[in-house]
């Protein structure tokens, strides 16, 4: 029996969370789901979008599956995602992306895994107003954080039989900050001589990804670049509706769909639940339930190949019906 914290989220979150829970339960893996609140619902009940009770519950279970949460733009409360990463030291953002059958995209040979450092860089949120017309943000990179995300990437590559790691950076311009990240990653790379290592300036990397994505295997990036490139790679394979994600730390792991909460579609049974369902497969692998994860993954591919999907991919199904189809394909 595994204990998992389930955060239903905002907008379409509760619908896709229920779909993912049903699919996981249909595999026969025994999960004790413990619901917790975050986001707008928590703001109304607790006066904060991320209650201490939710953070403590994730610490107790060690694992959470989180549906999308609304983050106000430019005002309001700060991102719950950032809050969770800081509170639980979820330093590793894992974003696998691969081509899937039946999805109308230009490429059908993409299989890339992104490792994004999750705790520092510009996303550390160190900002200040110098005067009313000037804002300043600090880009902070440390050797310790760079070492541990690099080690996570190389350990994954070794375990999964991946052949190459590409380090993305802008060290030609930010010679100190990005230079430190690049050098720290190279130091770790020396411990894995069987894995090819290359580095790429991030703007050129973006261009080459859309021209020849099959060249890349594992990407290793600091926080900001990793955020941007993980969405770019998702676009190569069908969009965020198919993009799973994981945030990993030493004592906790939070698995999430990375798309928004789409409040205008809430309650309409239209949202694609696939991203959260695939995030649940990452969760199952983390829990050691590899066979169940592989069964869900194959079932998703079966449904996509048959055109059994939601409107965003040109299919006729609603959220609940998509979950039904995946369960039937198991």
The residues annotated with a catalytic role in the active site are 123, 170, 203, 227
3-state SS string for the chain: CEEEEEECCCCCHHHHHHHHHHHHHHCCCCEEEEECCCCHHHHHHHCCCCCHHHHHHHHHHCEEEECCCCCCCCCCCCCHHHHHHHHHCCCEEEEEEECCCCCCCCCCCCEEEEEEECCCEHHHCCEEEEECCEEEECCECCHHHHHHHHHHHHHHHHHHCCCEEEEEECCCCCCCHHHHHHHHHHHHHCCCCCCEEEEEEHHHHHHHHHHCHHHCCEEEECHHHHHHHHHHHHHHCCCHHHCEEEEECCCCEEEEECCCCCHHHCCCCCCCCHHHHHHHHHHHHHCCCHHHHHHHHHHHHHHHHHCCCEHHHCCCECHHHHHHHHHHHC
């Amino acid at each position: 029996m595994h204990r998992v914290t389930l955060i239903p989220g905002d907008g379409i979150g509760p619908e896709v969370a229920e779909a993912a829970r049903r699919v996981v339960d249909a595999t026969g893996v025994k999960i004790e789901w413990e619901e917790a609140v975050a986001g707008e619902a928590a703001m109304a009940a607790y006066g904060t979008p991320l209650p201490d009770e939710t953070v403590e519950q994730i610490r107790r279970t060690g694992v959470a599956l989180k549906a999308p949460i609304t983050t106000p733009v430019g005002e309001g409360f700060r991102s719950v995602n950032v809050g969770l990463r800081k509170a639980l030291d979820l330093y590793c953002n894992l974003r696998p992306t691969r081509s899937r059958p039946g999805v109308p995209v230009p490429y059908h040979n993409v299989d890339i895994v992104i490792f994004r450092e999750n705790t520092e860089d510009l996303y550390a949120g160190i900002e200040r107003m110098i005067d009313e017309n000037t804002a300043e943000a600090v880009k902070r990179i440390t050797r310790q954080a760079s070492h541990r995300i690099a080690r996570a990437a190389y350990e994954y590559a070794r375990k999964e039989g991946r052949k190459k790691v590409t380090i993305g950076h802008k060290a030609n311009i930010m010679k100190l900050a990005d230079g430190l990240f690049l050098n720290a990653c190279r130091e770790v790379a020396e411990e894995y001589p069987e894995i090819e290592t290359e580095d790429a300036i991030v703007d050129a990397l973006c261009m080459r990804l859309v021209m020849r994505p099959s060249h890349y295997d594992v990407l290793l990036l600091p926080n900001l670049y990793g955020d941007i490139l993980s969405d770019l790679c998702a676009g190569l394979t069908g969009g965020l509706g198919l993009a799973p994600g994981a945030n990993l730390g030493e004592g906790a792991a939070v698995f999430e769909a990375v798309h928004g909460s789409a409040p205008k579609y809430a309650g309409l049974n239209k949202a694609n639940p696939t991203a959260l369902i695939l995030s649940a497969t990452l969760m199952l692998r983390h829990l050691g339930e590899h066979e169940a994860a592989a069964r869900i993954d194959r079932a998703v591919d079966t449904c996509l190949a048959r055109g059994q999907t939601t409107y965003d991919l040109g299919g006729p199904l609603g959220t609940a019906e998509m979950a039904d189809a995946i369960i039937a394909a198991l």
